A and B are shown apart, each in its own frame.
Chain A
């Protein structure tokens, strides 16, 4: 994962925030995804401008978590989103 690289949401997804959690619908696969509060925070921060490093900083600031733990969680989450083609590297 390139820490300076940026991420962009796929055009084939529609999402809404319901009670501070993101509900995402993938138009290509017709799958639904429900993100927890951390996942929802990351998803909302992905905007094609924030670098992965910036996402990490925001995550550490927003949640009571160590940088190492946040880095691990973020990497796993990004990997999963990429595998499902919900985001891609810009």
Chain B
């Protein structure tokens, strides 16, 4: 068995597999995230003979309390109590990364973290989160900011601290150029493509809705009433993030000038 340890939001995930290529890939992809810490979660990856039926991701719960996540090419079993995961996936790294993101989302929620569909940058030691729907400019913003370090280009982790919010990078299914360390969130910007760049303050109510509806679970869990406790927590965390970090609406025109407006 081959293994690696990946640290995400200060928690160590031990990933093991008989497939040396999968572990080798993770070691390269998560080079800034390799850890020697005691594992917080154990994840085992095995092969799968799935036939590729069905397109929608399906979530269910077994009698023993295990969470089962089924996609076209993989099945993931999450045991929240024992902090163990079993991923049965075809040898596609994309599929494995998606399953690992799913595992991370479940375990990090307990640690007051949300995975949000957003890009995030560190500029002058301050963290900026850009939340938005696809094609609104989240990735473009990271490309237009060569002086900033990319925390995440598609999905980042927001973590609740006592009085503030921190941003942590997520190494799976994502591009990160920053070493694994939390950055204090200075501003959260809800980005919309526009002809002119403007920045307008947002109230915490709308900001909480915006964050909640771009959280990983909101996007992937379709049958929301089956996972009530998850949404109870994600709503509470969204409220905390919206109340502790100034939020803005950013109407964004593709030009590096936008930083002047933000700062």
Contact mask B219-263 → A, CB, 8 Å, 1/0?
000001100100110011001001100000000000000000000
- Chain A positions 10-29 with a Cβ under 8 Å from a chain B Cβ: 11-12, 14-16, 18-19, 21, 23, 25, 27-28
Known interface pairs A14-B231, A18-B239, A18-B243. Does A27 touch B224 (Cβ–Cβ under 8 Å)? yes
* Chain B residues close to A by CB (< 8 Å): 203-205, 208-209, 212-213, 224-225, 228, 231-232, 235-236, 239, 242-243
Kindly state whether residue A66 has any CB partner on chain B within 8 Å: no
A30 at the interface (CB under 8 A from B): yes
Q: Is A32 an interface residue (CB 8 A)?
A: yes
Q: A18-B239, A18-B242, A28-B224 are in contact. Are A23 and B232 (CB under 8 A)?
A: no
Selected from B209, B224, B225, B231, the residue in CB contact (under 8 A) with A23 is B209
Add 17 more A-B contacts to A14-B231, A27-B225, A34-B205 (CB < 8 A): A14-B228, A16-B208, A16-B236, A18-B204, A18-B208, A18-B239, A18-B243, A23-B205, A23-B209, A23-B235, A25-B212, A25-B231, A25-B235, A28-B225, A30-B224, A32-B209, A32-B213
Q: Which residue of B lies closest to A15 (CB)?
A: B235
CB of B239 within 8 A of CB of A16, answer: yes
Q: Provide the bound-state CA to CA distance between A18 and B225, in Å.
A: 22
In the complex with contacts A12-B225, A19-B203, A21-B205, A27-B231 CB distance below 8 A = yes
Most buried by B among A18, A30, A32, A34: A18
A interface list, Cβ under 8 A from B = 11-12, 14-16, 18-19, 21, 23, 25, 27-28, 30, 32, 34
- Known contacts A25-B212, A25-B231; is A19 also within 8 Å of B225 by CB? no
Give the residues in chain B near A27, CB-CB below 8 Å: 224-225, 228, 231
CB distance from A12 to the nearest CB of B (A): 5
Q: Which of A11, A14, A34 has the most CB of B within 10 A?
A: A14
Per the bound structure, the CA–CA distance linking A28 and B228 in Å amounts to 10
| B239 neighbours in A (Cβ, 8 Å) | 16, 18, 23
* Closest beta carbon of chain A to B160's beta carbon, Å: 14
